[in-house]
Amino acid sequence: MPVTITGVEAILTQPGRSRLVIVKVHTSEPGLYGLGCATFTQRVFAVEAAIERHLAPFLIGRDVDRIEEIWQMSMVHGYWRNGPVLNNAISGVDQALWDIKGKRAGMPVYQLLGGMTRQAAAVYVHAEGADRNAVADSARGLVEQGFRHIRVQLGGYGGPGTPQHRPEGAPEGNYFDPREYARATLEMIEHVRSEVGDEIELLHDVHERLAPIDAVRFAKDVEQYRLFFLEDALAPEDIGWFKTIRQQSATPLAMGELFNSPHEWRDLITNRLIDFVRMHVSQMGGLTPARNVAAFAAMYGIRTAWHGPGDTSPVGHAANLHLDVWAPNFGIQEWYRPSELEYEMFPGLPEVRNGYLYPNDRPGLGIDLDVDLARSHPCEEIVEQWTQTRLPDGGPARP
């Protein structure tokens, strides 16, 4: 008799700043369940509805072993596809089914993917500050903790947020000046490089803040500081400009955290226009498509750098790590330094030692969830402010 799905639930929790969505898939085998990440933090309640009102009725009674078929049918069952709400919902189920398969096999998921090609994954962490000296101080502190890859950001995304020359009646919002951001960021990177030396790898996230031609110039200007990579220099709508950047700059490029369709990453890979794929694994639909993309990118010499901030859940970070230690073309893994509460809420959450993230050898994804503790930290019903970004004249801008 096959083991079947008997229930699918979405568990929403907020142990820190980000709202998280965890999927728990129950099975017909007593005590056997799987966990997956479905976190789209700005739309958690839409994902919850997609899981419990649409996917759950569709999935109950299906064989847990048929991961590929379930993924394919889930993607097309709603007819319209490749959107962030549906993809995250599908991802939560997909990761949970891989978790179940590993538990049934008595193996970690990385063994099911093909086994380790490395013992641990090198990670990068974030250094931020209101001015260049504060960023350098933060970076030095992280180096002292054993980190060798550090993303440097001046005052958050879009720069330090200095007062703008606004027109009368301009609405409130998260204002930034693209040109000021570019100037100040280049000065900051130069300063941090002089402080930490050439042995430490520096990264920077543009976060799609620049117009395409300004992104071309920025990639050229930052080349002299030899970044490990420049992240999200362009918005998904402007990816045609990557060819221009590539022609004019040798700065390594990472792209993908907003991608949810193969049409967005396929040509960038086949034309070798980026150096790292860094999709949000739940945004792209789970472990199944991420495994396929990693193998596809490897054929073109492109490395992985999966999205891993605080709005990837600990379950999602565990899934990332299984991909990291398996993939021959692994590059780097973003890491967010979880709180003590998160380690208590998610037993088995991976740990960093001396700049490397280590998996455990537990079956499945190797992580669990204290459901009662998670439910005691419910998601706030808020309207995000940081995504309400504006240019100096008050016009809307990408966040």
Kindly list the catalytic residues. Answer: 157, 207
CA distances from 51 to 57, 101, 190 (A): 9, 20, 47
Half-sphere exposure of 247 (CA within 13 A, CB side): 6
Taking residue 169's Cβ as centre, other Cβ atoms within 10 Å add up to 6
Q: Where are the beta strands (DSSP E) in 132-275?
A: 149-154, 174-175, 201-205, 229-231, 253-255
CA–CA dist 274, 251 (Å, integer):
10
Q: Are strands 356-358 and 121-129 parallel, antiparallel or unpaired?
A: antiparallel
Which strand (E) or helix (H) includes residue 300? Answer: none
Per-residue buried b or exposed e for 26-61, using 16+ beta carbons within 10 Å of the residue's own CB: bbeeeebbbbbbbbbbbbbebbbebbbebbbebbee
Question: Torsion angle of alpha carbons 81, 84, 90, 94, nearest 10°?
Answer: 120
Q: How far apart are the C-alpha atoms of 126 and 108, rounded to whole Å?
A: 29
